[in-house]
Amino acid sequence: MRARTRIIAPLALAAALTAACGESGSSGTGGGGDAGGTAASGDACAPVAGDQLVVLEDDEGLQNADNIIPAVTATAAQANPALLPALNAVSAELTTDELVEMNAAVDVQRQSAEDVAAAWVEENVDTAGLEQGSGTVVVGGANFTESTILATIYADVLTAAGFDASVQEVGNRELYLPALQRGEIQVFPEYLSTVTEFIEGDEATQVASGDVDATVEALTPLAEGAGLVFGEPSEAADQNAFAVTQAFADEVGVSTLSELAEACGDGSLVLGGPGECPERPFCQPGLEETYGLEFGSFRELDTGGPLTKAALQQGEISLGLVFSSDGALAQG
């Protein structure tokens, strides 16, 4: 997977989420009971080691909606009416669980992105039913596994729809978005909230949110002004998420962050993440304010990387910041 710094600067090259939710540093007062309403005590929610990691559902929508969405040069979309329908056929089927499995297939099982993408298309898209088009289409991809897989899926589906499609690696957003606007590439797999904030460009203004429809509505006029159009967002999302071990989830009986707050009011939770987490509104302050979570301690690690995942697996932290489509979340 890529090295990412999603909770740092809103418009950082690799950032996929922007900070604008809630006030940093205040502590919530919710939680305090287990599923039966009895307050937890002692170290009821202390770390539990285990190999398998699982994301707790962000059921109150703390994180921005970074669903996968196809970006297309407006001139290409106008000249090729079959282009967007083919890409929307991908969005209609793609899920976060499938994205996790595909990332794991490449990063862990060492399969090629091309083989993984082709297998997904064969299983999920009715290519015979696609509206047919023609002409050359270059699909851009950034230099990390997930983007390469998605770009290859787009190219495979476009090829099946009659286009002469290819994939070109074009680097980070500050490089590929201008290339898309200039028509040097015609298609790119994007992230809904990240691209919305990037095009909007004002770090003091937050236009994306956890609401997919509202964020698409905000993106549409911004895209028009930038000479772009966007297809339908998929269910699949790659965004900040918080994971525990499956052993912890089973022992405490939680699957959502709200349930975690109810079960773990004793201050025994150990949070792990990057050094800025205690001040960033999508990290510790957001968890405290949105869910009423209380933490006994914080351990500085990395941003969804190997240090955080290892600390979870080794029972050094209870809850860690990860990315929702990380291949490490694949069920083994």
Rg (CA), the chain: 20
Residue 15's pLDDT is what?
A: 35
108 and 139 housed in the same domain: yes
87 and 219 housed in the same domain: yes
Of the residues 207, 230, 253, which one is the last residue of a structural domain?
A: 230
pLDDT band at 33 (very low <50, low <70, confident <90, very high): very low
Of the residues 211, 230, 249, which one is the last residue of a structural domain?
A: 230
Residue 20's pLDDT is what?
A: 31
217 and 74 housed in the same domain: yes
- pLDDT digit string (tens) for 116-149? 999 999 999 999 999 999 999 999 999 899 999 9
Tokens standing for 185? 């590439």
Residue 319 DSSP code: E
pLDDT band at 332 (very low <50, low <70, confident <90, very high): low
Residue 182 neighbours by CB under 8 Å, 6+ apart: none
Residue 293 neighbours by CB under 8 Å, 6+ apart: 28, 30, 31, 257, 260, 261, 264, 269, 287
What number is the average pLDDT over the span 192-202? 94
Rounded to 10°, the helix 192-200/212-225 angle is 40
Residue 171's pLDDT is what?
A: 84
Of the residues 230, 261, 283, which one is the last residue of a structural domain?
A: 230
What percentage of the chain carries pLDDT values higher than 70? Answer: 87
101 and 175 housed in the same domain: yes
Q: Which of 179, 304, 160, 143 is nearest to 238 (CA)?
A: 304
224 and 330 housed in the same domain: no
Residue 322 neighbours by CB under 8 Å, 6+ apart: 53, 55, 241, 242, 243, 304, 308, 309, 328, 329
Q: Which of 10, 128, 150 is nearest to 70 (CA)?
A: 150
Query: What's the angle, vertex CA 295, arms to CA 291 and CA 298, rounded to 5?
Result: 125
The reported pTM is: 0.84
169 and 247 housed in the same domain: no
Confidence check: pLDDT of 34 > 50: no
Number of domains in the chain: 2
What number is the average pLDDT over the span 309-318? 97
84 and 217 housed in the same domain: yes
54 and 87 housed in the same domain: no
Q: How far apart are CA 174 and CA 155, in angstroms?
A: 22
Residue 44's pLDDT is what?
A: 79
Q: Which of 219, 231, 298, 257 is nearest to 63 (CA)?
A: 257
Phi, psi of 139 (to 5 degrees): -100, 125
Burial class (CB in 10 A: 0-12, 13-18, 19+), 86: buried
86 and 12 housed in the same domain: no
Secondary structure class of 289 (helix, strand, coil): helix
332 and 200 housed in the same domain: no
Report the CATH number that the domain containing residue 48 is assigned in CATH: 3.40.190.120
3-state helix, strand, coil in the chain (%, to 5): 40, 15, 45
Confidence check: pLDDT of 320 > 50: yes
- pLDDT digit string (tens) for 231-282? 999 999 999 999 999 999 999 999 999 999 999 988 889 999 999 999 999 9
Residue 141 neighbours by CB under 8 Å, 6+ apart: 147, 148, 150, 151, 152, 167, 168, 169, 170, 188, 189
Domain region containing 21: 1-63+239-332
Report the CATH number that the domain containing residue 85 is assigned in CATH: 3.10.105.10
185 and 280 housed in the same domain: no
Q: Which of 176, 171, 186 is nearest to 137 (CA)?
A: 186
55 and 80 housed in the same domain: no
pLDDT band at 18 (very low <50, low <70, confident <90, very high): very low
What number is the average pLDDT over the span 287-316? 96
